[in-house]
Structure 1
Amino acid sequence: MAAGRSGQTIAADGSTRIYGHPQLRNLAGKVAIQRGPLIYCLEEADNGTELHNVWLPAESRFSLIEGTGLFSDKIAAG
């Protein structure tokens, strides 16, 4: 991984991890993933109140997955 702008880490797989500022209580420890123009994140409104139990290991890698069924002819990051 390489360092990007402050608060970002660029992985070998092309994804960028964007971290919340550690001094902002509501953002400390939070991360979003950017791949190309898309930003992936989980929010409590969509995922319930136990979202704080989800974590993303630093060594996680992402890959492209070819969709099937409704998502055939589509590519997703997984």
Structure 2
Amino acid sequence: KDYYSFEQNKTLIELADAAKNKYHIPVYHETHRGRFSFAAHVTKEYLEKIPTLQLALDISHWCNVHESMLS
């Protein structure tokens, strides 16, 4: 969620990562409003600090949050 702390979201991402490894299934976290990946500048920290994080990018949500075309 976008209102969870970095550490709270990191814990959830790590749980998903553990399930991915245990069950050999791909896990992708979608960029989306209302989620930890709601904005580019916030998601950047997650990508830098969690190297196993994989995203399904729907850039329209970032454009909506920023109210711009990210230029």
- Both proteins in one fold, TM over 0.5: no
Question: Larger Cα Rg: Structure 1 or Structure 2?
Answer: 1
Larger helix share, 1 or 2: 2
Give the TM-score band, short-chain normalised: under 0.3
> Structure 1-normalised TM-score?
0.25
Higher strand share: 1
